[in-house]
Amino acid sequence: MSKFMFTYHGSQKPETQEEGQKNMEAWKAWAESLGAALVNPGTPVGVTTILTKDGASSDRASNPIMGFSILEAENMDVAVELLKDCPHFEFDGTLEISEMMEM
């Protein structure tokens, strides 16, 4: 089995606290449906600093990361299939899926 890191990008913010709670409940139910395949259910991230050889910048990234999770699956096709129903898509968000390389 391989591990895949998927990062959450973009999405609309909930307009009310109640909508935010509903969104979180939908995400938790979806995460639970993945069972043991979801190795790390998620870590949200805050402000991002972009670092290049020329220095650090606090400019907003074009598609900022909002958090990440780690999934275990047989291959990329299976990972994509497991993630296709993620509630993050309901709010115009995207996921980037990367296979984690063993060193």
CA distance 100 to 4: 5
Q: How confident is the model at residue 90 (pLDDT cuts 50, 70, 90)?
A: confident
pLDDT recorded at residue 7:
94
pTM: 0.84
pLDDT recorded at residue 25:
93
Q: What are phi and psi of 91, to 5 degrees?
A: -120, 30
- Nearest CA-CA partner of 11 in 84, 81, 82, 95: 95
All domains of the chain, ordered by start, with CATH? Answer: 2-99 (3.30.70.1060)
pLDDT per residue over 13-30, tens digit each?
Answer: 888 899 889 988 999 999
What are 72's strand-pairing partners?
Answer: 3
